Structure 1
Amino acid sequence: MQTASTVLMVEPIAFGYNSQTAENNYFQVEQKEADIQEKALQEFNNFVEKLRNKGVNVITIKDTLEPHSPDSIFPNNWVSFHEDGRVALYPMFAPNRRVERREDILKTIENNGFNIKEIDDLSSSENGDKFLEGTGSMIFDHDNKIAYGSVSLRLDEGLFRNFCKKFGFAPVVFHSYQNVGNQRLPIYHTNVMMCVAEQFVVICLDCIDDEMEREKVQEVIKSSGKEIIEISENQLQQFAGNMLQVQNDAGTQFLIMSETAYKSLTKEQIEKIESYCEIIYTDLNTIEVNGGGSARCMLAEVFLPKN
């Protein structure tokens, strides 16, 4: 199943700009305002309410003040929950994000009726400075067992290929870039440049600079039977690639994105997406600016079997 009906979200308690992640997340901008946590919490609560109003199951867990991790609002980077009952824990680039891996969160998932059969902890790769940041760095086509990965400091190609072998995905490896000043630098997470839904893929092909890699990615998507909906690099900068398709218990599907992303889309792009599913968008400006992540980053899908 491509779309989950349950998502995990972590409620921020001390959200803010993270200088450790800003080393290679060029979407981050530090705001010097006193009420950033307050604004982020309001954005979070509004987001949760919108999802629940559409019948999407949202498991919310409060962050802790200690140990402090300003990016805990983005749980999809440290954990993924799979339909065979396996849970993967991932190696994280920023040392202050590694404390986000919490056993009590896994217990809460189980207490919500899900069955965890095995925990596959990959985090020891941090000791060798090799990272693979979950569904930030990898985009899964669950139906076709394909995983897309753009190589960066947060996606080590060897770790990615090993993960795919272990979890039964065919890896599609490529490189994507964005303009930072006068430089062309690697995009930190694959999920800011592409989103795989059940019947379509939203992707910024222009940021795959190598022509052969770009053609290969297009070819794999087309052979999987999904329609390509292209976005521009400018739209990517507005988080238009950072989307996620989810569904409610009735099977109704929704494409989730931020208000910033939605406003960047053309009328034609919106109509194309809406021919497949309804769009849910929400204001995440404070979270996007300071955290450098958007709607998709805040959602960890729970595909685990129910007890």
Structure 2
Amino acid sequence: MRQITDTILMVRPVAFRMNEQTAVNNYFQKDLTADNVNERAQAEFDEFASKLKKVGVNVIVVDDKQEDDTPDSIFPNNWVSFHENGHIALYPMFAENRRKERRMEYFAKLEENGFKITQIIDYTSAEEHDLFLEGTGSLLLDRQNQKAYCALSPRADEDLLIEFCEDFEFTPVIFNANQSVGGKRKAIYHTNVMMCLAENFTVICLDTIDDSKERKNVLKHLKNDGKEVITITEAQMHEFAGNMLQVQGAFDKKYLVMSARAHGSLNQEQISKIEKHCEILSSDLDVIETCGGGSARCMMAEVFLPKA
């Protein structure tokens, strides 16, 4: 199993803004009152996609639809994941207006690009029971070692996680991750803002795992699988330093992709540890991060599907 891919699906926004439906438990979001938020987000998106293409990443860009009013469509990794056996998983979403992001026509575009889809496994009926599991936002997939790391939250249900793991033959690594909000510890909405899994290393905010047994268990799994553990602080996590993704560019060169804000928050020791493994690629995503409460990793849905 490959841990990283050279192909990603990205959705160009048309109605981007702060999503009031997700702000209830995404404590990273802030409202920008400027009129041109969508245009600024589009400019950031285009620059980001261009940087990825320049280093040889195969970026498949699809356009959002104006009539659906989907402010978070720029974050497709929350509703879909693509797997090496040709299977696609569709996930149940917490916010009602995010459910309209699931568009089957995007899959036709992947098939046009030579990818083979053999089965769609659909978990979305869980929405009827107010149960959610938001894709590779909730699930940190170690595809090489067949493990799924998951911080439980209103958007990551334990029973659904276990069902996914049974279907896709992953071992669940379950824990709770919290952040300080107004003097209280509250669940972090997505695992992928506090943790990034690359081929040979992980970037993780261990300070968010308040329970020492859970913290030790996560570390045990990472170390047993030979991952170098690069820790970040909770303050760095708030600069989206956990929301990164390793990708493959031209000539098998590897990159850890992150926002300029995340890159700027890292100290020299952390940067040196990352650069032992791969180059850093960063891009300014300030408007997207501020309004959307997500960053570089959330914008990329990795395509592991086999070629037809």
TM-score of the two chains, using structure 1 as the length reference:
0.99
Q: Distance in 1 between matches of 2:143 and 2:250?
A: 19
Q: Which amino acid aligns with 2:157?
A: D
Q: Secondary structure at the match of 2:68?
A: coil
Q: Secondary structure at the match of 2:8?
A: strand
Q: Distance in 2 between matches of 1:133 and 1:111?
A: 26
**How many residues are aligned here?**
307
Q: Secondary structure at the match of 1:242?
A: coil
Q: Structure 1, residues 90-139: CA drift from partner, whole Å, max 9, x if none?
A: 00000000000001111111111100000011100000000000000000
Q: Distance in 2 between matches of 1:140 and 1:249?
A: 23
Cα distance, 1:169 vs. partner?
0.5
Q: % of aligned pairs identical? A: 55
| 1:269 and 2:281 aligned | no
Q: Distance in 2 between matches of 1:21 and 1:250?
A: 39
Cα distance, 1:66 vs. partner?
1.4
Q: Which amino acid aligns with 1:203?
A: I
Query: Is residue 140–residue 148 contact of structure 2 (8 Å, CA) maintained in 1?
Result: yes
Q: Distance in 2 between matches of 1:251 and 1:139?
A: 23
Q: Distance in 2 between matches of 1:67 and 1:52?
A: 28
Q: Structure 1, residues 135-192: CA drift from partner, whole Å, max 9, x if none?
A: 0000011111111000000000000011011101000000000011111100000000
Counterpart of 2:127?
126
Q: Which amino acid aligns with 1:281?
A: S
Q: Distance in 2 between matches of 1:134 and 1:230?
A: 24
- Aligned pairs (5 A) from 1:43-122: 43-122=44-123
Counterpart of 2:240?
239
Q: Secondary structure at the match of 2:23?
A: helix
Q: Distance in 2 between matches of 1:60 and 1:290?
A: 21
Q: Which amino acid aligns with 2:184?
A: Q
Query: Is residue 55–residue 250 contact of structure 2 (8 Å, CA) maintained in 1?
Result: no
Q: Distance in 1 between matches of 2:274 and 2:161?
A: 29
Q: Structure 1, residues 17-36: CA drift from partner, whole Å, max 9, x if none?
A: 10000010000000100010
Q: Which amino acid aligns with 1:190?
A: T
Q: Distance in 2 between matches of 1:32 and 1:68?
A: 18
Q: Distance in 2 between matches of 1:46 and 1:204?
A: 28
Cα distance, 1:249 vs. partner?
4.5
Q: Secondary structure at the match of 1:98?
A: helix
Q: Secondary structure at the match of 2:67?
A: coil
Q: Which amino acid aligns with 1:98?
A: R
- Aligned pairs (5 A) from 1:149-188: 149-188=150-189
Cα distance, 1:67 vs. partner?
1.2
Structure 1 segments of 4+ aligned residues over 4 angstroms from their partners? none
- Any stretches of 5+ residues in structure 2 without a counterpart? none
Q: Secondary structure at the match of 1:263?
A: helix
Q: Distance in 1 between matches of 2:234 and 2:166?
A: 32
| 1:293 and 2:299 aligned | no
Q: Secondary structure at the match of 1:306?
A: coil
Cα distance, 1:14 vs. partner?
1.0
What is the Cα-based RMSD across aligned positions, in Å?
A: 0.5
Q: Secondary structure at the match of 1:163?
A: helix
Counterpart of 1:195?
196
Q: Distance in 1 between matches of 2:50 and 2:32?
A: 26
Q: Distance in 2 between matches of 1:59 and 1:248?
A: 14
Cα distance, 1:250 vs. partner?
2.4
Q: Distance in 2 between matches of 1:121 and 1:66?
A: 25
Q: Secondary structure at the match of 1:22?
A: coil
Q: Structure 1, residues 253-299: CA drift from partner, whole Å, max 9, x if none?
A: 10000000000000010011001000000000000000000000000
Query: Is residue 14–residue 38 contact of structure 2 (8 Å, CA) maintained in 1?
Result: yes
Query: Is residue 37–residue 287 contact of structure 2 (8 Å, CA) maintained in 1?
Result: yes
Counterpart of 1:33?
34
Q: Secondary structure at the match of 2:173?
A: strand
TM-score of the two chains, using structure 2 as the length reference:
0.99
Q: Which amino acid aligns with 1:292?
A: G
